[in-house]
Amino acid sequence: MSITSNCKLIPLHLSLLPNPNPNPKLPFPNPNSPPLSPPKLLSIRCAKRSQRTGKYRYPSEKRKLKSRQQTQIDVPQKFEGFWRLSKLGVSVHRDPGKDFLDVSDALLEEIAKVLEFPVASMLPPEAFSVVRKSFDARKSLKEPKFVYTVDMDVIKLLDLEPRTWDFISRLEPKVGLIEHMLDERVSGDIINVIHDYRRIYNGVVSNEGGHIQLRESFKYPATKKPKVAVVGSGPSGLFASLVLAELGADITLIERGQAVEQRGRDIGALVVRRILQLESNFCFGEGGAGTWSDGKLVTRIGRNSSSVLAVMKTLVHFGAPKNILVDGKPHLGTDRLVPLLRNFRQHLQGLGVNIRFGTRVDDLLVENGSVVGVKISDSSNYLKFDSQKLGCDAVVLAVGHSARDIYQMLLSHDMNLCPKDFSVGLRIEHPQELINSIQYSGLATEVRSGRGKVPVADYKVVKYINGDDLDTTFNPGTVRHGCYSFCMCPGGQCAEKLESHS
Ligand SMILES: Cc1cc2nc3c(=O)[nH]c(=O)nc-3n(C[C@H](O)[C@H](O)[C@H](O)COP(=O)(O)OP(=O)(O)OC[C@H]3O[C@@H](n4cnc5c(N)ncnc54)[C@H](O)[C@@H]3O)c2cc1C
């Protein structure tokens, strides 16, 4: 529990408050005396739940935690699914370094410690896989360390070391450290997931009784394939096309910009000769807005979740390095994105997707209140006099932030649009060495321009602004806003993000 001042929550009037009437003879403050400043209230505010640990937990929280810890898992269940071990810290001196993503001896010792397993060398490393590895150099720690999340495959463990049976049968979850996960992990990328789904639901195999058995041969459904126009080939449009095409839909992917090869040349002309192609630039073209960027794979929706992992695995399928599956701060880079996008395109074409680069959607075709297609034109033609109609059963608009013409068009159809919070960009530049030395002190020499044992240092600025801090005249009803720095780009350069001459 902490005591804070200037807080409007649960005001508690204590004897510490200044007396509003300093002259006890007068029933009211003396009008001639200087005006009193309003009393400063002392209020008591409870620490956030995340800060209440150990003996500071409320009794109700302690009871809840105890009952959760005591939740016994049936012994047979312990051998199903897998066990996830989190917050395994290996000191930087004992770890092989940022690029090593397997299970080292030092990590095995940490695993044994958290599992309370007596002999680390008895644990076969093959039974463990690293799910996440990040570097923690916060000053509050005794020493910088690599922090791991690791999955334990019990079947493999028993296979390789049957003497662990007794130990597993006694193993219990520990909040935040050991978690038993019954759900099957995503074994593959989105393509595999869809193939498995189709095999099971279309009759190639059946998983009845938990066993996958071969059934009659695979048949495409006899019904007509739905015709879908996907507008935009950024991440959203590409993945929408992939999923729909893998599920058997007839897809036309429409992109106003150019394929990555031509787009690269157009961006080169913009940067070097300052010639802007209105429809093929940093924002428009195959791969979407982030293609000519640092390629940071930023997500705030649960990095270890099955859906995020399936997307990451799909990127690996198309040529991304495998370490993006494990890195705490995964990152691709434009040089890798270009061949990846080419592979993605070839896969889509192999599925029969009709990709139309240099084609812009100008309008929706609407009949009786339903969208029945799109109006398209050659994107090099701004007068739109060669518009063609493309009929379809559904339209996916995956047009990104920069397609202002599309949002105008939607408004003209009386479409209900809901604005997102506005993000304002701010650039801060400083030498990489400065950040390394501030964050890592003596360890900064280990960075070696990204080729060393520890990752290039970065930082993040996050601030939550309460309703109290905001001017409510302009923000009625606003309660809480988050301000955060988006990403850092070590060794990056500034580029003009133009999409119009104006
Ligand atoms: C310079 C820059 C750097 C970035 N760096 C990162 C990063 O490192 N990491 C990260 O996570 N995010 C980054 N982002 C953000 C990221 O790019 C976006 O979140 C992401 O691209 C959004 O994907 P999207 O598919 O929704 O839209 P977009 O990527 O914007 O794709 C929309 C596509 O639709 C096409 N289109 C638009 N209108 C039409 C039309 N009328 N007809 C046909 N086609 C149309 C466009 O040409 C475009 O290709 C960056 C963004 C920019 C601009």
Asked if residue 232 has its Cβ within 6 Å of ligand 1, the reply is yes
The residues, any chain, with a CB within 8 Å of residue 86's CB and separated by 6 or more, are: 149, 176, 177, 178, 179
Spans of all domains in the chain: 1-46, 66-181, 432-484
Closest by Cα among 98, 101, 55, 36 to 322: 101
Asked if residue 289 has its Cβ within 6 Å of ligand 1, the reply is yes
Identify each DSSP E strand in 421-499 by its residue range. 462-466, 480-484
For 421-467, the pLDDT digits (tens) are 767 777 788 888 999 999 998 899 999 888 899 998 988 888 877 75
Per-residue burial over 44-67, b = 16 or more CB atoms within 10 Å of its CB, e = otherwise: eeeeeeeeeeeeeeeeeeeeeeee
Angle between helices 260-273 and 334-350 (to 10 degrees): 150
The residues, any chain, with a CB within 8 Å of residue 441's CB and separated by 6 or more, are: none
CA of 282 to the centre of ligand 1 (A): 9
Q: Name the residue of 230, 242, 255, 420 whose CB sits within 8 Å of the most ligand 1 atoms, as the mutation to test its pocket.
A: 255
How long is the chain? 502
**Residue 187 CA, distance from chain mean position:** 19
**Residue 33 to residues 24, 30, 38, 87, Cα–Cα distance (Å):** 14, 5, 14, 61
CA of 279 to the centre of ligand 1 (A): 13
Assign 403 a pLDDT band (cuts: 50, 70, 90).
very high
Secondary structure of 152-166 in the HEC alphabet? ECHHHHHHHCHHHHH
Asked if residue 399 has its Cβ within 6 Å of ligand 1, the reply is yes
CA of 334 to the centre of ligand 1 (A): 14
For 24-78, the pLDDT digits (tens) are 333 334 444 444 444 445 455 556 666 667 667 777 777 666 655 555 677 777 8
- Among protein residues, the one whose CA lies closest to atom 12 of ligand 1: 290
Calpha distance 39→64 (Å, rounded): 40
- Among protein residues, the one whose CA lies closest to atom 52 of ligand 1: 290
- Among protein residues, the one whose CA lies closest to atom 33 of ligand 1: 232
pLDDT over 70 for what percent of the chain?
75
For 227-243, the pLDDT digits (tens) are 999 999 999 999 999 99
| C-beta separation of 368 from 361 below 8 A | no
| C-beta separation of 335 from 321 below 8 A | no
What pLDDT does residue 320 have? 94
What is the SS3 assignment for 287? Answer: coil
Asked if residue 296 has its Cβ within 6 Å of ligand 1, the reply is yes
